[in-house]
Chains A and B, each alone.
Chain A
Amino acid sequence: MNISKLNVKTASLAALSAVALLLGGCSDNDHTSSTAITPPAVTPTMQDYTINITNLTANQPMSPIAVVTHAADSVLWSSGQSASLALETLAESGDASGLTDETGVTDLINGAGILMPGASEAISLSLDSTSVANLSVLTMLVNTNDAFTGFSGYDLSELAIGESQVFRVIAYDAGTEANDEAKGTIPGPADGGEGFNAARNDTNKVHAHPGVISSDDGLSDSVLNASHRFDNPVLLIKISRTE
């Protein structure tokens, strides 16, 4: 069900005016000089969120979910651009820890462990109201060479108490490792092979994942079978603001 598209459309009408206001407000940042500006005193309060995540695939366990808070202008990946080393590591091995070193990243919260197909998990997030930031969620489809999913850069300030936002997200290909599905190249249970490898032998641009082939579908030396194939969306993410 691709209703999120519709929501975006209807919401965008209302958002247009908000965007206009934000753009106006942003001009302050353009001429930030050495002059110290005293920020107005704000009493910090906590803003609480719950992030519910469901693995929608048939047989692609997801690496521990990475929930990342970061500055509005930091982007963890962008389609058509090269993956950062941190993203490459996540997409090839499932290890999200490198994301903490990315510019503007303030916090990384990991899920409890591997999120199995059909399984759901709730991750809590509590942010100081003075530092409410953008949110990204990332995870690897572990029975692949370098597929990952998630979203990048959701503005948490859009969410009022009691509101929620649902994302149904597609699989991306980090473009850093050839999708040969060969023995020894896939870290998930289908293979138990290698995770990260610094060599980049694919398109070197992040793009929508074309899907896996599998040995059942004629790629004779693939360690994957029909059940590892997937269609979009692969992950359901619901962000709810509780406080």
Chain B
Amino acid sequence: MKLNPITKLLILGSIITLPATAAEIEISITNLTHGNHFTPLLVAAHDADSHLFQVGEMASSALQKMAEGGDIGDLDSAVIATNGVTVANPAAGLLAPSAKVEGIMLDTGDMTHLSIVAMVLPTNDAFVGLDAWQLPTEPGSYTFTLNAYDAGTEANDEVVNGGGMSGVAGIPAAPGGDGGMNATGVMDMSSNDKVHIHPGVLGDTDLQGGMSDLDSRVHRWLNPVARVTVTVK
């Protein structure tokens, strides 16, 4: 039975005094989407007051760079500047649909919370996110799923035109080579400029035109979009 090791640890935990903070964690991340890649992931352990993003709040410019163009550099720097620890780009590039990256080791030191982000590509500003999950002090394996968020910083026009810089309209690329061209663009009538749950992409079935350069048969998703397992040593 799967629970046995955990149960044993729980019993052990009640006998042995555990340290107040976890030191070593091992993480695996699976892309659950049908046809979307994750750009380089940022895995960050930080203090209780830090966030890479929060729903209902405006995205930081660092988050915007990640969500619109996949650039995690500024977020990484921000975490390190507040004494956090990170693993940047553990999948060594894109994490393809159904792909899993395992064995991400992180010595969390005094840091108490875990965050994970990566852009969902091809989209305008969708990202997969974990916002400040409190790291358990109890050794064991913890599995949960993540949702896709909309950074709220760019209209979801669904035009693949190479636009990946912050504030530039459009989608940087369709890494699966499955995007369309010559789309007229989806009119995004949402005025929600806060980080929110992504409504999903629309797409269409016309790869030579239509409203969207995304393929509704390939690029749609429903939450959750990622599965994460954290093993606390």
A-to-B contact residues, CB < 8 Å: 1-3, 5-6, 54-59, 116-120, 214, 216-217, 225-234, 236
Contact = CB atoms under 8 A, between A and B. Distances in A.
Interface string B189-228: 1111111111110100000000100001000001110000
A224 to B, nearest CB: 10
A234 B55 CA distance: 11
Contacts of B145: 1-2, 5
B144, B156, B193 — most chain A CB neighbours (10 Å):
B144
A226 B199 contact: yes
A2 B146 contact: yes
A6 B133 CA distance: 11
Interface residues of B, number: 37
B197 A1 contact: no
A226 B191 contact: no
Given A1-B144, A3-B144, 15 more contacts: A1-B147, A2-B144, A2-B145, A3-B130, A56-B56, A57-B196, A57-B199, A59-B189, A118-B196, A119-B194, A226-B189, A227-B190, A232-B223, A234-B197, A236-B55
B130 A225 contact: no
Contacts of B133: 1, 3
Majority SS at the chain B contact face? loop
B189 A1 contact: no
Given A1-B131, A3-B133, A6-B144, A56 B189 contact: no
A56 B198 CA distance: 9
A54 B195 CA distance: 11
A229 B197 contact: no
Given A6-B142, A226-B186, A229-B199, A118 B193 contact: yes
Contacts of A57: 192, 196-197, 199
Given A56-B55, A231-B197, A236-B56, A216 B192 contact: no
A2 B192 contact: no
